[in-house]
């Protein structure tokens, strides 16, 4: 543990915001599933880009434009390598997971989904992996069907075979539940879907920051994630797709960059991945994401997993000692997200007060209302951990909870 704490202290020094005080108390930031803080190297990348390299890319013949283009495309190659994609042209830059899913749902449904078809999601999805599919279903006349969950907070795959019908066109599930932290058995879902020739999209927004992801080994057909939840800037995300599918999808946004030739009679669209990147991209965001990934790799994905697992187990044990705490997931496979309630205290009340003790946690339905309906609760209190969190911060959360309990006695 001591060895671990010195590792964490070293990591913490890389994140300037962690020295902040809130309400006169040192910040305890446990809302990492909402967004993570940024290491200095990411912040410096943004500043250095605008101080030394800023130019529009893929267009110019001048020095800066060439340099910026090279850096942007090098980042794409690094990100492809990070998730083990077979080619960098399978990496499409978006604003974040939400835009990735909207892009996919819109273009995939235009290419492959017709009236009477089915789209399969799960009961534990974030709204952003439900609503874009509903929109696509509305336009095409398809139906959205749901993989159910059990009381432990796990997906139930017993009836998956019958949910995967001859009408199912795509399966869209999260890798990790944002509200409960459950790691879903996506390998099994992908295998079963593929047996019937159905492609699978994985929402990796809550997975990629916690453990290594190998899209080829998973064999998923699409995978999405956000930079800002993995120590990178806001406003940048990725949609990975197998080339064989991406090549069949129509364009999403029209504009510059996504075309080869434009005549008023007909436009010839550009090749992958540029066909899906209309307009001037978020170059600084891409470079920031690249820097964040380098930071994670230098820290070591195994080490990240180990640090977070140790802290997660510590948090679970400490919180479990508090009378009246009710954990909302007992799933066997989890990441470092802990969703709980304190007795009968409304999560909004608890969150409002815990905040005043300097502890940032999230309360509410976590954009997963169908899941909250299933659990018959208005929301949860969610503490979510990152590599820079330390045991003493868990202790401060526990102290805050005990004080909140006293206020409601």
Partner 1 sequence: MNTIDKIGDQIIEEFSQFEDWMDKYNYLIELGKSLPIIDEKFRTESNLINGCQSKVWLSADYNDGKVIFKADSDAIITKGLVSVLIRALSNQSPDEIIMNELSFLDQTGLKAHLSPTRSNGLLSMIKQMKLYAMAFKIKNS
- Which residues lie near partner 1 (CB under 8 A)? 23, 345-349, 351-353, 356, 363-365, 378-379, 407-408
The nearest distance, CB 218 to partner 1, in angstroms, is 34
SS (H, E, C) 157-177: CCCHHHHCCCCEEEEEEECEC
Nearer to partner 1, 273 or 379 (CB): 379
The nearest distance, CB 348 to partner 1, in angstroms, is 4
The nearest distance, CB 134 to partner 1, in angstroms, is 19
Nearer to partner 1, 57 or 372 (CB): 372
Q: Sign of the C-alpha dihedral, residues 269, 271, 275, 280?
A: negative
The nearest distance, CB 157 to partner 1, in angstroms, is 32
Q: Show the CA angle centred on residue 88, arms to residues 85 and 93, nearest 5°.
A: 100
C-alpha 363: how far from chain center: 18
- How far apart are the C-alpha atoms of 398 and 276, rounded to whole Å? 46
Contacts of 10 (CB under 8 A, 6+ apart): none
Dihedrals phi, psi of 239, to nearest 5 degrees: -115, 120
- How far apart are the C-alpha atoms of 14 and 29, rounded to whole Å? 15
The nearest distance, CB 349 to partner 1, in angstroms, is 5
Identify which of 299, 384, 303, 306 has the alpha carbon closest to the alpha carbon of residue 339.
384
- How far apart are the C-alpha atoms of 383 and 363, rounded to whole Å? 9
The strand pair at 222-226 and 200-203 is best described as: parallel
Q: Which residues are catalytic?
A: 367
Nearer to partner 1, 192 or 346 (CB): 346
Q: How many CB atoms lie within 10 A of CB 124?
A: 28
DSSP 262-309: E-SS-EEEPPTTGGG--SS--HHHHHHHHHHHHHHHHH-HHHHHHHHH
Nearer to partner 1, 59 or 356 (CB): 356
Q: Sign of the C-alpha dihedral, residues 387, 185, 330, 123?
A: positive
Nearer to partner 1, 180 or 404 (CB): 404
**Contact (Cβ atoms closer than 8 angstroms) between residue 177 and residue 184:** yes
The nearest distance, CB 328 to partner 1, in angstroms, is 16
Nearer to partner 1, 317 or 402 (CB): 402
Half-sphere exposure of 336 (CA within 13 A, CB side): 29
Nearer to partner 1, 122 or 363 (CB): 363
The nearest distance, CB 37 to partner 1, in angstroms, is 20
Bridge partners, residue 149, by sequence:
155
């Amino acid at each position: 543990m001591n060895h671990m704490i010195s590792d964490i202290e070293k990591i913490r020094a890389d994140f300037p915001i962690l020295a902040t005080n809130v309400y006169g108390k040192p910040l305890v930031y446990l809302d990492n599933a909402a967004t993570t803080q940024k290491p200095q190297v990411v912040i410096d990348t943004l500043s250095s880009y605008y101080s030394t390299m800023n130019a529009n890319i893929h267009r110019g013949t001048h020095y800066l434009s060439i340099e910026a283009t090279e850096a942007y495309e090098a980042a794409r190659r690094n990100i492809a390598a990070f998730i083990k994609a077979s080619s960098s042209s399978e990496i499409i830059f978006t604003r974040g997971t939400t835009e990735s899913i909207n892009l996919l749902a819109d273009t995939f449904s235009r290419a492959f989904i017709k009236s009477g078809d089915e789209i399969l999601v799960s009961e534990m999805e974030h709204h952003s992996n439900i609503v874009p599919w509903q929109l696509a279903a509305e336009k095409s006349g398809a139906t959205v069907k749901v993989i159910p969950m059990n009381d432990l907070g796990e997906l139930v795959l017993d009836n998956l075979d019958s949910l995967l019908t001859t009408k199912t066109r795509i399966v869209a599930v999260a890798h990790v539940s944002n509200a409960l932290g459950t790691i879903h058995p996506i390998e099994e879902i992908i295998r079963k879907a593929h047996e019937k020739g159905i492609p699978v999209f994985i929402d990796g927004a809550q997975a990629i920051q916690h453990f290594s992801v190998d899209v080829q080994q998973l064999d998923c057909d699409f995978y999405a994630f956000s930079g800002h939840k993995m120590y990178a800037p806001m406003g940048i995300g990725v949609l990975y797709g197998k080339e064989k599918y991406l090549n069949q999808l129509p364009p999403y946004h029209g504009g510059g960059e996504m075309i080869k030739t434009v005549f008023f009679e007909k436009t010839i669209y550009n090749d992958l991945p540029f066909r899906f990147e209309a307009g001037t991209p978020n170059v600084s965001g891409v470079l920031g994401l690249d820097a964040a990934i380098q930071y994670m790799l230098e820290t070591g994905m195994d080490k990240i997993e180990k640090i977070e697992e140790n802290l997660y187990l510590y948090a679970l044990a400490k919180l479990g000692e508090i009378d009246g705490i009710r954990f909302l997931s007992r799933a066997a496979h989890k990441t470092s997200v802990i969703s709980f309630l304190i007795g009968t205290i409304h999560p909004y009340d608890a969150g409002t007060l815990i905040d005043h003790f300097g502890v940032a946690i999230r309360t509410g339905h976590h954009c997963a209302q169908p899941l909250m309906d299933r659990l018959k609760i208005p929301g949860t209190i969610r503490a979510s951990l990152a590599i820079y969190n330390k045991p003493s911060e868990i202790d401060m959360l526990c102290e805050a909870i005990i004080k909140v309990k006293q206020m409601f006695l």
